Amino acid sequence: MTTFDTVKKLCSERKISINDLEEALGYSKNTLYRLKTQTPGADKLRAIADYFDVSTDYLLGRTEKKYLDDTDTIAAHHEGEEWTEEELEEIKRFKEFIKLKRTQQGD
């Protein structure tokens, strides 16, 4: 599957057209159709990934995993360290605690 195919699938899931996405990202018409034959630059890839809240690896077809778990990202930044399932669960709980705290402070 090409990057274009993946983007087209994501658009379909969101019920928008490729042209709608181009407009939302501020791209000229047919810019994204070039993804059929060309690899996008980092800036375009990042913008598309951010729009759909998916990983750039997913867009490039390097993984089937659409969304990165934040604990995967944290663990990747500590390469070489072994993480137990309990530690990863604790990271998730702490992340939820911080989100809740922010929400309560906004009230």
Same domain, yes or no: 10 and 38: yes
Same domain, yes or no: 82 and 102: yes
pLDDT tens track for 66-96 = 766 656 655 555 556 677 888 878 888 887 8
Same domain, yes or no: 55 and 74: no
CA 14-12-1 angle, to 5 degrees, is 125
Same domain, yes or no: 55 and 76: no
Eight-state DSSP code of residue 25: H
Overall number of domains in the chain: 2
- Structural domain for 54, as ranges: 3-59
Same domain, yes or no: 42 and 78: no
Which residues in 44-53 are b (16+ Cβ under 10 Å) and which e?
Answer: bbebbbebbe
| pLDDT (0 to 100) of residue 85 | 81
Q: Taking the model in full, what pTM does it have?
A: 0.64
Asked whether residue 25 is assigned to any structural domain, the reply reads: yes
Angle of helix 18-25 relative to helix 3-14, nearest 10 degrees, comes to: 90
Q: Which of 20, 96, 30, 92 is nearest to 51 (CA)?
A: 20
Average confidence score pLDDT of the chain: 83
Same domain, yes or no: 24 and 51: yes
| pLDDT (0 to 100) of residue 17 | 95
pLDDT at 8 over 60: yes
- Give the mean pLDDT of 4-31: 94
